Structure 1
Amino acid sequence: MQILRMVLMVTVGFVLAACGADGEPIQPTMSANIGVGSSGTHVGGGVGLRSGGFGVYLGL
């Protein structure tokens, strides 16, 4: 439970930092995929932020 809270706090921090409070806002990116194979189907996706050479991506 502690890890989940920490991840949530870091994510909120990145979102707040990307809101453009000090400069231009950063456009978030999003990806989603659906795969079908012999073991069944799976769904995945994620969100990310990129500013210059720095990027953060959270995916499932």
Structure 2
Amino acid sequence: MKKIVLILGLAALAACGANGPPLEPNANVGLSVGSNGVNTTAGIGASNGTVSVGLRL
């Protein structure tokens, strides 16, 4: 029983970012007008300062 509580406690601690900086979400949207017409861009991602992950649409 103690092992289960310890494992769940460590999982909760890791999930809240207490063992390091939490991931900060970011997003951007762009609109440009040129000779080819109107172009749109969008991106979403997350970063903790050391590692960044993202998706550009």
* Normalised-by-shorter TM-score class: 0.5 to 0.7
Q: Aligned-residue CA RMSD in angstroms?
A: 1.8
**Structure 2: runs of 5+ lacking an equivalent:** 1-13
Runs of 4+ aligned structure 1 residues displaced above 6 Å come to none
Paired residues, number: 41
**Structure 1: runs of 5+ lacking an equivalent:** 1-19
What TM-score does the superposition give when structure 2 sets the normalisation length? Answer: 0.60
State the structure with more CA Rg.
2
The structure with higher relative contact order (CA 8 Å, sep 6+) is 2
What TM-score does the superposition give when structure 1 sets the normalisation length? Answer: 0.57
Provide the residue aligned with 2:27 in structure 1. 30
